[in-house]
Structure 1
Amino acid sequence: MVRIAFVCTGNTCRSPMAEGLARHILGPGVEVESAGLAAWGGDPANGKAIQVLKEKGIDIASHQARAVSRDILASADWVIPMTQTHERQLKDAFPEWSSKVKRLGAWHSQGKYQDVRDPWGGSVETYRQCAQEIETLLHEVKTGLKAH
């Protein structure tokens, strides 16, 4: 069983979408969770994130935000943040686990993607574009996991 923790800022947009999408894309044998570097514990997923994933048949309505913790990082095989800044913050705060921190865009085979931009405050279409980018990158993660 491979355990992955997705990390963004508030754990209400990108990382819950990544968690929901990953459950469908990565399949059995991969356990996923998410957290935020500046999350308010218990906040729901953003309504637009819920709507966009619902359009894909994925329900994240029961998601509750939580902050990154040592326990989350310790139990994960991979910690996948959304941006280079998140990656740097995680590696600085938790150097003992820096070898398993790899931002989502870094899994892309051609290194084409950098950061998954935060859709917060954007339109539903902005959330759809973000979800599509995450979905594309999760297929790269799936390929990368097979290689490990």
Structure 2
Amino acid sequence: MFNVLFVCTGNTCRSSMAEILFKEMLKRENLDGKVRVRSSGTSVYISLPASDNAIEAVKELGMDLTGHRSQKLDIDMLREADLILAMTRAHKSHILNIMPDIKDKVFTLIEYATGGEEGDISDPFGYDLDTYKQCRDEIKKYLEIAIGKIGKWANRQMGK
């Protein structure tokens, strides 16, 4: 099983939306049995549900985030992941400060999808639903690019 971990700050908006969006894409591509997807946050102190606007933003696409609970990023998650996709360069830097030896598997989502472009997925926390939808659509755009790479990597790891 190929393990993908999405990371943001609180794991209530960006990484939780990325997780559910990517799981849906994996089903569509018949890769859901080959790829395990998780999400976590660098600054989770208590487990919280996804934000109301994140729930609404993905609900519009037929997905349900109501069961999501935020998880704090930990060493075991970093070790288990084959690919870690951070929402910002600051998240990536935080991860590499914890475990510098995993630098070959840590990228920002934009960097991974584009093959090296710099850029961050802006935090919609505290903003209106339209901002969350814009964030969701930006995440979705980069995930659509990334799924081809991840699918090839997962198939290679599974010996196909």
User: What's the TM-score, normalizing by structure 2?
Assistant: 0.87
Is 1:34 equivalent to 2:39 in the alignment? yes
Match of 1:142 in 2: 147
- Structure-2 separation of matches of 1:126 and 1:49: 10
Does structure 1 retain, via aligned residues, the 8 Å contact 2:7–2:41? yes
1:17 aligns with 2:17: yes
Is this contact kept in 1: 2:85–2:112, CA < 8 A? no
1:75 is aligned to 2:50: no
Q: In 2, distance between residues paired with 1:101 and 1:113?
A: 14
Gaps of 5+ in 1: none
The answer on 1:94 being equivalent to 2:99 is yes
Any idea what SS the aligned residue of 1:45 has? coil
1:104 to 104, 109, 113: 109
The one-letter code sitting in structure 1 at the alignment partner of 2:24 is H
In structure 2, relative to structure 1, the CA distance for the partners of 1:113 and 1:128 (3 Å cut) is farther
Q: Counterpart of 2:5?
A: 5
Contact between 2:124 and 2:132, CA under 8 Å: does it hold in 1?
Answer: yes
| Number of aligned residues | 148
Distance 1:100 1:110 in 2: 13
TM-score, normalisation: structure 1:
0.94
Which amino acid letter does the alignment assign opposite residue 82 of structure 1?
A: M
Identity of aligned residues (%): 35
The structural deviation recorded for 1:94 is: 1.1
* Aligned residues: CA RMSD: 1.4
- Deviation of 1:122 (Å): 0.8
Q: Distance in 2 between matches of 1:125 and 1:68?
A: 28
Would the aligned equivalents of 1:107 and 1:140 in 2 still touch at CA under 8 Å?
no
CA distance in 2, matches of 1:105, 1:147: 18
- Larger Rg computed on CA atoms: 2
